[in-house]
Each structure stands twice: as C-alpha cells, then as structure tokens.
C-alpha cells in the first residue's frame, strides 16, 4: 500500500472517529451527595413532599438515613434508607447524628430541635 493511500485511510478513520465523538453525549457521573441524619420517631416515607402524597414506606426511630435534599419550605426532606424505598419525610422527625459534625452549610431544615444544617 502506498504512503498516499495509507494517509488517506488514516484521515478517513480520524474523520469517522471525530463524527462519532461529536454525536456522543457525555453525561458526567457525580457521586451522590447526602448528609447523615437520624430518625427521631416512627414516620411514613412518602412519594412527594407533603401529606397528600402516597406512603411508600416507613422508618423507625433510631434509623440512620441519608438526606439528599429538602423542599424550599424546609419542612420535608428526601431521604435514602437501606431498609425502605427512598422518599420524603416530615423534617421534624430528623435530627443530626449524635456526635456528628455541626456545620453551617449543606442541607438545612426544621428538624426535631429547631433549625438543623447538616454538612455534605
């Protein structure tokens, strides 16, 4: 194969690769950020932030959960648990894990003992 043909094939292959790369959507995978909290009483886990949403699970007092976000009212928080489906709980049933860091940033809500901010 001549050098000219080899160069033409390499250019063609590079053009194909460039076209494929341009049409590929790259979605970055970011680690899930959550803050640890403890459940202070038995509470229903709901499909949305409010009592009008259906119950999808139940948490017991003393369980630890990951709080992923809270509604703008700071009265409902989305939690992840190892034992039940992810969903929303009334934030007054959440508290900082005893001995956990007391931070001013992260996720804030009205918890069992007033306003609570958990670090991410």
Judge contact between 67 and 49, C-beta under 8 A.
Answer: no
Is the pLDDT reported for residue 8 higher than 90?
Answer: no
CATH architecture of 35-118: Roll (2.30)
Based on DSSP, count helices (H) and strands (E) in the chain, helices before strands. Answer: 1, 9
Q: Domain coordinates of the chain in residue numbers? A: 35-118
- pLDDT recorded at residue 33: 62
Average pLDDT along the chain: 78
Mean pLDDT of 85-105: 80
Task: State residue 26's pLDDT score.
Answer: 34
The string of pLDDT tens digits covering residues 34-81 is 789 999 999 999 999 999 999 999 999 999 999 999 999 999 999 999
DSSP letter string over 27-49? --------EEEEE-S-EEEESSS
With 0.95 as the threshold, say if the pTM is over it: no
Beta strands in the chain (DSSP E): 35-39, 43-46, 55-59, 64-70, 76-80, 87-90, 94-96, 107-111, 114-118
């Amino acid at each position: 194969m001549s050098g000219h043909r080899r160069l033409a094939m390499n250019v063609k292959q590079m053009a194909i690769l460039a076209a494929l790369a341009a049409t590929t959507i790259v979605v970055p995978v970011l680690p899930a950020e959550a803050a640890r909290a403890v459940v202070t009483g038995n509470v229903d886990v709901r499909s949305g932030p409010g009592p009008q949403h259906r119950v999808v699970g139940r948490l017991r007092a003393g369980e630890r959960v990951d709080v992923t976000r809270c509604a703008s009212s700071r009265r409902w928080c989305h939690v992840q648990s190892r034992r039940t489906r992810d969903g929303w709980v009334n934030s007054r049933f959440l508290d900082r894990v005893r001995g956990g860091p007391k931070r001013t940033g992260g996720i804030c809500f009205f918890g069992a003992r007033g306003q609570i901010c958990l670090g991410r």
